[in-house]
Copies of this chain bind each other. A is one copy, B any other.
Amino acid sequence: MRILLVEDELMLADAVRDHLLAAGEAVDHSDSVVDAEIMLRGTNYDVLLLDLNLPDGKGIDLLRDLRRSGSATPCIILTAQDQISDRIEGLNAGADDYLVKPFDLNELSARLSAVARRYSGNPNPFISLDGGVEVDLAGRAILIDGVQTDLTSREWALFDQMVRRPGQTLSKRQLEEALYEFGAEIESNTVEVYVSRLRRKLGKEVIKTVRGVGYRV
């Protein structure tokens, strides 16, 4: 399994790398966001291990950009204990799981395989939703009663966000952030419009409206 570790605490990074190498994984390491960006462009990693607090830029932007550009590479974020808000922000930005430092290396292994299994892993890369809709997050594919359908990039960005948190109601504001750079003051009803488009493609039942708040799958 190809793993990219983005972490600037070198002690920790080395420990993690050694542990994973010993377990037979292929680990690349970067201690900066810009390097990580380049490495992501060049290689297809199976999992991204990402520290959000890096000196040269917000790790979270790396993740957000990645998701916005359509990548579904699984990502586990590493946060310090007191950065609970980071953790939340990270999950909202599209992380799959998180680990709190200091973490146990065995726990890391466990989560890695859990996350990896969820994707490339066989049993079901497809998440089934109501209305005969199946989603392959990693492959960016949607089957609708078994027939493949395509989404445009914005449609996908929005839908991806919701599918990652089934059952949870996401505010329009949160969903907007999947569409635009952080803090983009958007005045229009873009989210509504995209929900409408998605519903036309996916069927009415898939996305539920929670009036006054947002949407959920």
Q: Report how many copies the assembly holds.
A: 2
B212 touches A152 (CB 8 A): yes
Q: How far is the CA of A150 from the CA of B87 in the complex (A)?
A: 26
Stretch at the interface among A6-14, A19-27, A100-108, A197-205: A100-108
The interface residues of chain B lying within 8 Å CB-to-CB of A165 are 139
Interface size on A, residues (CB 8 A): 44
List which A152-211 residues lie within 8 A (CB) of chain B: 152-153, 156, 165, 167-169, 208, 210-211
Residue of B nearest to A169 (CB): B140
B210 touches A136 (CB 8 A): no
Q: How far is the CA of A213 from the CA of B122 in the complex (A)?
A: 18
Stretch at the interface among A40-48, A50-58, A61-69, A91-99: A91-99
* A122-B88 contact in complex given A97-B81, A152-B211, C-beta closer than 8 Å: yes
Question: Which 3 pairs across A and B sit closest by C-beta, in order of nearness?
Answer: A139-B168, A153-B212, A140-B169
